[in-house]
Chain A
Amino acid sequence: MSDDLLLKIRDLHIEGRSDETWTPIINGVDLSLKRGEVLGLIGESGAGKSTLGLAAMGYTRDGVRISGGTVEFDGIDLVHASAGEKRELLGKRIAYVAQSAAASFNPAHRLIDQHAEGPVTHGVQNRSDSAEDGVELYRRLRLPNPEEIGFRYPHQVSGGQLQRAMTAMAMSCRPDLIIFDEPTTALDVTTQIEVLAAIRDIVEQFDTAAIYITHDLAVVAQMADRIKVLLRGDEVETADTRVMLDTPQEDYTKSLWAVRAFQRPTKPAVLTGAVPLVSVRDVTAGYGKTTVLRDVSFDMHDGRTVAVVGESGSGKSTAARCITGLLPPRSGEVLFRGEPLPADYRKRSRDQLRQIQMIYQMADTALNPRKKIGEIIGRPVQFYTGLTGRARRKRVEELMEQIELPAATFHDRLPSELSGGQKQRIGIARALAAEPSFIICDEVTSALDQLVAEGILKLLAELQDRLGLGYMFITHDLATVRAIADEVVVMKEGRVVEQGPKAEMFRPPHHPYTDLLLSSVPEMDPDWLDDLLEERGRANIGDAAIENMD
């Protein structure tokens, strides 16, 4: 029976080089894939999903090596195959779809040229046949203007369209196997759904086998026939999708399933007439000639969380920049406890600056890599509260206790020695060091794995209850909104399209855009995508749906 298998991986060991030693990344994983089957590979970052996916192509990145085990594709031993033999297969019989299509298309060449490169190199088709076939694939993947889009350069095409063009490119030689490496992770929910539907249809049409790598359970539930869960290079369990969703066996899998259960109790409504902590009034702002925000108004109160949601480019982060004074608005104003704040942060007093702090999405880049943790937190302590020497040290230790990282261990470490979640905690401590009353959290959990993200959300909630902080929580993830928001502001193309208490927002009737956002969030039900497509029709999802709305 095993001859039926397209891909057979047995006892695979992979190691990565760090500091002159080889550390294991994959410890003896088995994987089998039949023709036409879709296997979902799921796990947190660092679980070895991508490494395993690439190894299925016989490819390892620089500084990574296969140290044991076998990878057999259709009877060909990929571990011992020569580079030339592997080149014969790559692109032709095994193709790859990367996470970021924008980075994985060569910026210097037109899409169709990159599309036709594989078939021409492998002698499958000549240039013009392949270009014609590309147009046909673009049409099947429901790209707008399939005849013309291929003549564009990657930067002229949106992210969701690029991701579909890359799927078309992977299909160009009609491979037996495609590795999808987190193809929708970088996309907005409304765009993601389009790409998911397109990928699933085309894989079905050509009966292509696929390995679908993701960290999003709801996505994998739509795409895969079987699911394999990985944890730090080990397999946790494998089962058919429905079995896995209904009756997960291992504790780790159950914990993944349980993440979305975190929810804060609903708070009583804001008293009418209460002075808002921060209030944005009729703000219009932009960069250069482009206007990003148009007449935006909303209020935020002490001890409450306002979630600002919307797609990328909707003006969420620009609103935050106006509040902090980094981008003075063209018109309108920002009030703090009823008093207007100077538009430019340079004109604000130190106390005004102290009151409003920020936590950033990428903790990696927001922390100075050459400064020790103690200094990163100590600097705002000294700047805003004037504490020095032993008093400063004591305050830093207090703050580190609040973020649950013991100062004894972490005070003298560098950011590079911390995990993603720990770095984000340092970002929180740095914001708290100023003793603010209002914190802007800009996508603080979107770069983190679900379990880690949940830890951060719980910490933020606790701090809010203890210190009475007001949060402006910028996110595009509606699950996060559900978990922590008190009020919700929905933004689209620089305008507020809907705002109100969370309970109202999640209860119909919605503004059509809110409705689209809500219904585009994948659910754990494996039939969710089918049901949705049936309900709404294929022509009414993603960008098309937004256009239909206008």
Chain B
Amino acid sequence: MNSVVTIIAQRLALGLLTLLIVSIVIFAAVNMLPGDFAELILGQGATPEAVTAIRSDLGLDQPPVARYFTWLGGVMQGDLGNSFAQANFANFAGADVNSGLTSVADQIRPRFANTMFLALVTAAIAVPLSLTLGVLAALFRNSLFDRIANVGTLTSISSPEFFLAYVLILFLAVLNPWLPSLSNIYDGMGFGERLQRTLLPALTLTLVVTAHMMRMTRAAIINLLASPYIEMARLKGLSPMRVILRHALPNALAPIINVVALNLAYLITGVVVVEVVFVYPGIGQLFVDSVKIRDIPVVQACCLIFAAAYILLNLTADILSILSNPRLRHPK
């Protein structure tokens, strides 16, 4: 087991290093955005004095490197900084700048929880569905079922997300009013109702992510069907289903896990279009709004969370694929 622990420790360290590099890239990229918060908020009344005042208030007059390290230092301690917009609003209202609601973390927390909820509901539907479809497609390869499954999932992945969303709304909300077309969830809502309102965006996202996972499952299994040990299993008189589930699938896990992880990461970071269509209060909407008004701390924090989600999920996939290899689990 020692080698496995070493490998996992190495991957974790590499993941942290990647995150650090990503933080530099994020900071540089966000600072290259044209326009700045002070000018945008002041609009027509942007006198040079007012702009300078706001900029020094927010620390924007500091050199970028100093600002990066201040930000990084804060992030290390779990402090993602204060939202420009909220701080400004609080200033006008005469409230204390540090009164809590203005911090980026407070702003992001509920939104992120919503996004995670949507991602989990989607994953709970999409992962079992695509694995089952993939296994069946491999079992009945080149049959009518295989073709329909392939064409169906390819069609859904090739269509724009908003189009899929409107098609689902048309059939499941308008023509047959089974599900609400608006997903405006809020705190204190019961789990059942929350789930019901989340279902439509979750189904839309399922249609988007199923194709990858299903096709990889199918390909990874078919790839192994020419192996001598599969021939051996057949020559032992096992049923085709057992050959695939017990002999092919355990050896095909590594590529499947990787594709599942990539798609889960997409569910956390790439769902803004679906959120907008269903007015779902997730982190994607917050992100886009913050970019619009150049609310740099929020944008940076969102980017960092997205990056961390990607890295963490890929890391998990790496570790799981390593663990799926019996040579590493049971060294000589």
Distance (Å) between the CB of A134 and the closest chain B CB?
14
Within 8 A of B (CB), among A89-128: 89-92, 95-96, 98, 100, 103-109, 117-118, 121-122
Residue A348 at the chain B interface, CB threshold 8 Å:
no
Within 8 A of A (CB), among B183-236: 226-229, 231-236
B237 touches A118 (CB 8 A): yes
A118 touches B236 (CB 8 A): yes
A61 touches B231 (CB 8 A): yes
Residue A153 at the chain B interface, CB threshold 8 Å:
yes
Residue A200 at the chain B interface, CB threshold 8 Å:
no
B238 touches A107 (CB 8 A): no
A59 touches B235 (CB 8 A): yes
Residues from chain B with a CB closer than 8 A to the CB of A91 are 235-238
Residue A156 at the chain B interface, CB threshold 8 Å:
yes
How long is the Cα–Cα vector from A105 to B326 in the complex, in angstroms? 13
Residues from chain A with a CB closer than 8 A to the CB of B233 are 106
A98 touches B236 (CB 8 A): no
Residues from chain A with a CB closer than 8 A to the CB of B228 are 98, 100, 103-104
Residues from chain A with a CB closer than 8 A to the CB of B236 are 90-91, 95, 117-118, 121, 169
A155 touches B327 (CB 8 A): yes
Distance (Å) between the CB of B301 and the closest chain A CB?
42
How long is the Cα–Cα vector from A428 to B326 in the complex, in angstroms? 40
B327 touches A117 (CB 8 A): no
How long is the Cα–Cα vector from A107 to B250 in the complex, in angstroms? 9
A107 touches B234 (CB 8 A): no
B227 touches A57 (CB 8 A): no
Residue A148 at the chain B interface, CB threshold 8 Å:
no
Partner of B229, one of A90, A92, A103: A103
- A 76-93 to B, binary, CB cutoff 8 A, 1 in contact else 0: 000000000011111110
B238 touches A121 (CB 8 A): yes
Most buried by B among A88, A95, A109: A109
Partner of B232, one of A62, A88, A98, A122: A98
Q: A62-B226, A155-B326, A156-B330 are in contact. Are A104 and B238 (CB under 8 A)?
A: no
B229 touches A153 (CB 8 A): no
Residues from chain A with a CB closer than 8 A to the CB of B238 are 87, 91, 117-118, 121
B251 touches A107 (CB 8 A): yes
Distance (Å) between the CB of B286 and the closest chain A CB?
44
The number of residues on chain B lying at the interface, defined by a beta carbon within 8 Å of a beta carbon of chain A, is 22
Question: Which residue of the partner chain B has the closest CB to A100?
Answer: B228
- B 91-107 to A, binary, CB cutoff 8 A, 1 in contact else 0: 00000000000000000
Residue B239 at the chain A interface, CB threshold 8 Å:
yes
Distance (Å) between the CB of A39 and the closest chain B CB?
19
Residues from chain A with a CB closer than 8 A to the CB of B246 are 109, 117
Distance (Å) between the CB of B249 and the closest chain A CB?
9
A121 touches B332 (CB 8 A): no
Partner of B235, one of A62, A96, A156: A96
Q: Chain B at the A interface: mostly helix, strand, loop or mixed?
A: helix
Question: Which residue of the partner chain B has the closest CB to A103?
Answer: B228
Partner of B326, one of A88, A92, A108, A169: A108
Residues from chain B with a CB closer than 8 A to the CB of A57 are 235
Most buried by B among A61, A92, A121, A152: A121
How long is the Cα–Cα vector from A84 to B237 in the complex, in angstroms? 9
Residues from chain A with a CB closer than 8 A to the CB of B292 are none
Distance (Å) between the CB of B50 and the closest chain A CB?
66
How long is the Cα–Cα vector from A87 to B239 in the complex, in angstroms? 7
Residue B55 at the chain A interface, CB threshold 8 Å:
no
B332 touches A106 (CB 8 A): no
Most buried by A among B226, B238, B251: B238
A156 touches B237 (CB 8 A): no
Distance (Å) between the CB of B144 and the closest chain A CB?
19
B229 touches A156 (CB 8 A): no
B242 touches A104 (CB 8 A): no
Residues from chain A with a CB closer than 8 A to the CB of B229 are 103-107
Q: A61-B231, A98-B231 are in contact. Are A89 and B237 (CB under 8 A)?
A: yes
How long is the Cα–Cα vector from A88 to B239 in the complex, in angstroms? 10
Question: Which residue of the partner chain B has the closest CB to A54?
Answer: B235
Distance (Å) between the CB of A179 and the closest chain B CB?
9
Most buried by A among B232, B235, B247: B235
Residues from chain B with a CB closer than 8 A to the CB of A109 are 246, 250
How long is the Cα–Cα vector from A117 to B242 in the complex, in angstroms? 10
Question: Which residue of the partner chain B has the closest CB to A119?
Answer: B236
Residues from chain B with a CB closer than 8 A to the CB of A90 are 234-237
How long is the Cα–Cα vector from A155 to B329 in the complex, in angstroms? 11
Most buried by A among B231, B233, B236, B332: B236
B326 touches A87 (CB 8 A): no
A122 touches B237 (CB 8 A): yes
A103-B228, A117-B246 given. 18 additional CB < 8 A pairs?
A90-B234, A95-B235, A95-B236, A98-B231, A103-B229, A104-B228, A104-B229, A105-B229, A105-B232, A106-B229, A106-B233, A106-B250, A107-B229, A108-B250, A108-B326, A118-B237, A121-B238, A155-B332
Binding site for A on B (CB under 8 A): 226-229, 231-239, 242, 246-247, 250-251, 326-327, 330, 332
Closest 4 CB pairs of A and B: A90-B237, A91-B236, A91-B237, A108-B250
Instruction: Please name 27 pairs of A and B residues whose Cβ atoms are closer than 8 Å in the assembled complex, sorted by A.
Output: A57-B235, A59-B234, A59-B235, A61-B231, A86-B237, A87-B237, A90-B234, A91-B236, A92-B237, A95-B235, A98-B228, A104-B231, A106-B251, A107-B229, A107-B326, A107-B327, A108-B247, A108-B326, A117-B236, A121-B237, A121-B238, A121-B239, A122-B237, A153-B326, A153-B330, A156-B330, A156-B332
